[in-house]
Amino acid sequence: MNATVFREELRARLLENADRVILRILVSRTQKEPVELTGSQLLERSLALAEQYCQAPPMGVVLLLLPHSLELFLLHFGLILTGRLPAILAWPTNRIDPEKYQRNILHQLRNLPAAQVLTLPQLARNLDAGLPYRVTGCPIPDAEYLEKGFAIELRVDPVAKHYRDAAAEDTPPDAIFLQFSGGTTGAQKCVVVTSEILEAQLRRLTACLAFTPEDGVASWLPLYHDMGLIACLWFPLWNNAPSVHCSASDWLMEPSLLFALAERYTSTFCWLPNFAFSYLAGQRERMERTFSIGHVRAWINCSEPVRQRSMNNFTETFTAWGVRPEQCQASYAMAENVFAVTQTPLGDLPRTVPRSRVKHRSVDFSQLAYDLLDDVYVASGTALDGMSIRIRHADGDLCAEYEPGGIEILTESLFSGYWGNGGFQKQALTADGWYLTGDYGFLSDGHLYVIGRTKDIVIVGGQNIFPEDAEMVANSVEGVYPGRVVAFGVENEQQGTESLAVIAEMRGVFERGQAQRMEREIQKLVFSTIGIAPRYVRVVPERWIVKSTAGKISRKETRMRFLEEQAGLRHT
């Protein structure tokens, strides 16, 4: 299916649902009702908004730097239907420094092969001089409060404008839109989604989940993330099924919002990162009413290594509301593959493997305490049809079952390399076409177990330590701000190895004496759980840990801040 045929098919599917509500958007949790769009309304309003704001040539890249809004959804589809290539950028959280954010985003965007960027008017005025292509303001109703943070005088070095009257020469002819993978603090890594790989992904996922027009999806996931864009928006839409969306910030403030939407609109699928399972369980006491959510066919744990403790807490907490263990699934996915690579068979519990059975070339997990850390690895399911997985050691040798190594994939939905002004960069692909994911894990009986990111592994005295393990332990300490923990390695020149550092934010008013008590408890628990004592444990005030423009914790930038402060202490 080429791009022209794909766009025609999209239009036909919208018209097939001309009188049926196919998309609901709760713009703000203060609204009583979401905006509802039938297929014909979505088609008409998308085309109208694209016509109003788009100045890019056919197949030109249009960057969408907009908050959660009706306009963001409409422009994404409108640009596709009119033959442009939309690319949704991460909207910043309200915790970021506005000036630093804008300078960072200028650095990221200058080298992208774009023809235009659409953003809020105040931000457009600030960024215009620093970008070589058109910067257009797109007003959004009731978004004035978002613009106040950008009402600063931003001095930037002006760059010459180069307005494109045609798409870049190396633009793939069957491109539909762009996704960004990672790149939330440094250079954006651009993935071109073509009609062929998108259709293959949607078809394979539909078959795997036995998804029908009678199903539906509820989501708080942002559209700049492949889980929000593909699984929660494109997947149901392509299958003539409805979806309902709220913003991530509203969900964090009111966690029951997801349950309320799933109950009201009888949504049958919800994709969530692992932390959300723990977060929802931990927020149960804040929820003022009960919900009936037994109709949900699958709560799918995706985007992070799956933790059994998180899944168990979720099912145990919400059993009375109809949640059953077999509803909780797992998936391994990434933008480079459009979305899913693996999926737990529906109705099955995700498989587990004792940590002691895995052939690590490091610490003997069988000797450690497991009261806080899961004593098992949880599988992310088996490969979808048309997808292959292999595990290799750093020397290139294939790993045996239960033997962890680098995860590589070869699929019919695989990208062609990261795309930019210089064309496709294929360094992440092997000579035989496999993608080096950068993830670390193992296979057992066809099921994939993801342990963590290879680049984040801390090697302490020859033992591989996964920072996610230390972070999970520290998160259990009373007084720690939930989810605001980061662990990383620090060079230990005296011993010729790395040391482990753990940084945790204190919830509420910072008090030095309490922080010291928490530091001692974290030190003790991490040692008893993973067998390595952190050399550095710091409990810090809220907002100390560095986040990316997308609101994700930045391990790299937080480590840099820690090292800078350590250097300052040594000089005082």
Residue-wise pLDDT tens digits, 214-262: 999 999 999 999 999 999 999 999 999 999 999 999 998 999 999 999 9
How high does pLDDT run on average in the chain?
A: 89
Name the more confident of 319 and 424.
319
Residue 285 is classified by DSSP as G
Domains of the chain: 3-194 (3.40.50.980), 254-456 (3.40.50.12780), 458-570 (3.30.300.30)
Q: How far is CA 247 from CA 4, 35, 224, 267, in A?
A: 32, 13, 12, 17
Residue 224 is classified by DSSP as T
List, in order, residues 6 or more apart from 444 with CB less than 8 Å away.
351, 353, 379, 401, 402
Cα separation, 362 vs 438, whole angstroms: 19
Q: Which of 84-98, 410-424, 433-447 has the highest mean pLDDT?
A: 433-447
Q: Which of 30-34, 89-93, 228-232, 526-530 has the highest mean pLDDT?
A: 228-232
Mean pLDDT of 276-281: 90
- 370 pLDDT more than 80: no
pLDDT of residue 184: 37
List, in order, residues 6 or more apart from 420 with CB less than 8 Å away.
111, 112, 113, 190
Say which residue the tokens 């992310």 belong to: 380
CA 341 to chain centre: 15
Q: Report pTM.
A: 0.86
Q: What digits encode the pLDDT tens for the residues 430-453?
A: 999 999 999 999 999 999 999 888
Cα separation, 496 vs 29, whole angstroms: 53
- 115 pLDDT more than 70: yes
List, in order, residues 6 or more apart from 29 with CB less than 8 Å away.
246, 247, 250, 253, 254, 257
